[in-house]
Amino acid sequence: MITLALSKGRIFDETLPLLAAAGIEVLEDPETSRKLILPTNQADVRVVLVRATDVPTYVEYGGADLGVTGFDTLLEHGSSGLYQPLDLHIARCRMSVAVRANFDYAHAVRQGARLKVATKYVAIAREFFAAKGVHVDLIKLYGSMELAPLTGLADAIVDLVSTGNTLRANDLVEVERIMDISSRLVVNQAALKLKREPIRRIIDAFSLASVTQ
């Protein structure tokens, strides 16, 4: 049995064409089914639905043989125990710094002020500001980061930006792009050895299909 860990939403939706290229069709829709283990048209391949931030954990400890996860999640989780053969070029977005439209970010950074930064991505933010030599107080949040500068909780946020609509709707502006983000295929190291053939077939099919994304 080959188990693939996916999270619902954009990653699931954008992985479906890659699965199709490998001849794999998921037989239930996660938006309507309450099942957490979804069968496929191949009796020996199944999909498990987990939270996006749990995908690396499932794959690292063998709860799943493979998974698809954002590069942001991999950087936060640490990925030393995972084989990462492919950038799938899906769920593309960027990690950025954003502030209130009337906040003078450049001035604050130039002055060497201590910046209060709210984010779910503490490791990425810490490394980014450390490399710039900017002193920050990091405030860990689990959701709705956009609210932090609007309520005075923080001066800035570090968050994923795709269209920029969420920032605009909340009068925030993007002031720095930290990095481009896309989703990666991750593979359990032991599974790669023990289930080499079927896993190779999936990697090869994903590889061919993802270059056309």
Q: Looking at 80, 165, 197, 212, which residue binds ligand AMP (CB under 6 A)?
A: 165
Q: What pairs with residue 156 in β-bridges?
A: 99, 117
Q: What pairs with residue 118 in β-bridges?
A: 139, 157
Structure tokens at 112: 């060497």
Applying CB under 6 A, the span of 27-35, 98-106, 154-162, 187-195 interacting with ligand AMP comes to 154-162
What is the smallest separation between the CB atom of 164 and ligand AMP, expressed in angstroms?
A: 5
What is the smallest separation between the CB atom of 180 and ligand AMP, expressed in angstroms?
A: 11
Q: What strand order describes the sheet that includes 172-181?
A: 136-140, 115-119, 156-161, 93-100, 172-181
The answer to whether residue 163 forms part of the interface with ligand AMP (CB under 6 A) is yes
Structure tokens at 40: 């496929």
Q: Looking at 6, 24, 86, 93, which residue binds ligand AMP (CB under 6 A)?
A: 93
Nearer to ligand AMP, 109 or 141 (CB): 141
How far apart CA 145 and CA 122 sit, in angstroms, is 12
The answer to whether residue 55 forms part of the interface with ligand AMP (CB under 6 A) is no
The answer to whether residue 39 forms part of the interface with ligand AMP (CB under 6 A) is no
Buried b (16+ CB within 10 A) or exposed e, 28-41: eebeeeeeeebebe
Nearer to ligand AMP, 51 or 110 (CB): 51
Q: Looking at 56, 119, 159, 186, which residue binds ligand AMP (CB under 6 A)?
A: 159
Nearer to ligand AMP, 16 or 108 (CB): 16
Q: Looking at 49, 75, 147, 160, which residue binds ligand AMP (CB under 6 A)?
A: 160
The answer to whether residue 75 forms part of the interface with ligand AMP (CB under 6 A) is no
Residue 126 near residue 118 (C-beta atoms within 8 A): no
3-state SS track over 141-193: CCCCCCHHHHHCCCCEEEEEECCCHHHHHCCEEEEEEEEEECEEEEEEHHHHH
Nearer to ligand AMP, 99 or 191 (CB): 99
How far apart CA 36 and CA 125 sit, in angstroms, is 32
The answer to whether residue 70 forms part of the interface with ligand AMP (CB under 6 A) is yes
State the virtual CA torsion across 83, 181, 73, 210 in degrees, nearest 10: -40
The answer to whether residue 178 forms part of the interface with ligand AMP (CB under 6 A) is no
Nearer to ligand AMP, 89 or 126 (CB): 89
Residues that bind ligand AMP (CB under 6 A): 10, 70, 91, 93, 159-166
